Amino acid sequence: MKTSGYPTLIWGNEIDVVKKGTSLAVTAGQATYKRPRRPQRDPVGMAKMAAAAESIHQLGVDAPHARFANASSEAELIQFVRDFGPIHANSVKEDLVRARGRLVAIQNMELLRAEQMVFRQCVDILAEIKKGPDADTSAAFQAVVEICFRVAKWPRQWRAEKKAREDEQTVPIWRFTQRDFENVEAWKAFSGPEPEWIGSQYDELDAANSVLCLILNAFIPHVQHWDDITVEGPHWDIRYGVRPCLYYALRNAYLGRSPLEKCQNSECQKVFVPDRAGQQFCSDVCSRLQRQRDYWKTRGSKRRQERRGEASR
Ligand SMILES: [Zn+2]
């Protein structure tokens, strides 16, 4: 049985984005599971992201999940949607009348920004967990607090998608119930600097790991057989957005199946997929800048010491 390779998994062909008030209208030709006639800007990236268990070399900060984690401006977010489709659409229709069956999705901008933050905070949690004993536990816990605040809306999102899909007799490919949210909330309450549960045995990193698991478990991977290959990946029905693909990539990073790092240049901190083990910086420029900064820091303190020495003489 072949298990390598992955069908091209894209949201749609020739994606077009128009900003209308507080939302983006995202349209595209319906995706098929063959190579698109006119390749997208980065369909290979998407497919490789889906198959992140395999090599995703040399994507660096351009790997789709890294790009989304790094997209802090509105322009970057809109460009991401233009390249890959909505993250989570409020509604998805097939425009049979005017647009020959093109998909029409509405992506709310506020939701897009919130989703970017949740994803980034999950990546930040992962970065702290990977540091082991050197982890900044208060940073990890702060991320837990912020995730909890933002995923409070997920149960409602999920119910709305479930309802919207009823007519076509499909169900959401993700699942996050009120109970799941309450579990996230409980982890927040039972750990941290002042746990509500006195005598709690859990620390910030327990909460960080458990909340990351709860988030990742909302996006259930599927085993699929395609041509003559069998693969695991996000469910193929990503019409309501590519968020499950992003979390699938994060799942692989968390499980150590694929590398994902945060640039160690303290003024960059971009997320990237390293080309080689131990790579700490997203680029040569960042590596050089941080080395210079470290050099001046040590040199500066040496000179201050020297000066102090001269003064006391
Ligand atoms: Zn960098």
Ligand 1 geometric centre to CA of 270 (Å): 5
Q: What's the pLDDT score for residue 90?
A: 93
Work out the mean pLDDT of the chain and round it to a whole number: 85
Q: What's the pLDDT score for residue 223?
A: 85
- The residues spanned by each domain of the chain are 12-282
Q: What's the pLDDT score for residue 291?
A: 86
Report how far residue 64's alpha carbon sits from residue 219's, in angstroms, rounded to the nearest whole number.
17
> In angstroms, what CA-CA distances link 23 with 14, 122, 177, 192, 243?
19, 25, 25, 36, 17
Instruction: Note the pLDDT tens digit of each residue in 24-66.
Output: 999 998 765 554 443 344 444 555 554 444 444 567 888 889 9
CB atoms closer than 10 angstroms to residue 44: 15
Residue 106: pLDDT over 70:
yes
Q: What's the pLDDT score for residue 59?
A: 76
Q: What's the pLDDT score for residue 236?
A: 83
Report how far residue 227's alpha carbon sits from residue 29's, in angstroms, rounded to the nearest whole number.
23
Ligand 1 geometric centre to CA of 268 (Å): 5
Ligand 1 geometric centre to CA of 269 (Å): 6
Residue 174: pLDDT over 70:
yes
Taking CA 238 as the corner, what is the angle to CA 233 and CA 240, rounded to the nearest 5 degrees?
145
The 10 Å CB-count burial string (b at 16+, else e) for 242-253 is bbbbbbbbbbbb
Ligand 1 geometric centre to CA of 211 (Å): 27
Ligand 1 geometric centre to CA of 49 (Å): 21
Q: What's the pLDDT score for residue 149?
A: 97
Ligand 1 geometric centre to CA of 308 (Å): 35
Instruction: Note the pLDDT tens digit of each residue in 223-268.
Output: 877 667 777 888 888 899 999 989 998 998 999 988 899 999 989 9
| 259 or 112, higher pLDDT | 112
Instruction: Note the pLDDT tens digit of each residue in 259-303.
Output: 899 999 989 999 998 888 889 999 999 999 888 888 888 877 777
Ligand 1 geometric centre to CA of 263 (Å): 5
Average pLDDT over residues 190-215: 83
Confidence of residue 95 (pLDDT cuts 50, 70, 90): confident
Looking at the chain, which runs of residues are DSSP E strands?
A: 12-20, 23-30, 91-95, 102-108, 221-226, 229-234, 261-262, 271-272
Confidence of residue 222 (pLDDT cuts 50, 70, 90): confident
Ligand 1 geometric centre to CA of 192 (Å): 30
Percent of the chain with pLDDT over 90: 55
Residue type, 223: V
Ligand 1 geometric centre to CA of 139 (Å): 20
Looking at 97-256, which runs of residues are DSSP E strands?
A: 102-108, 221-226, 229-234
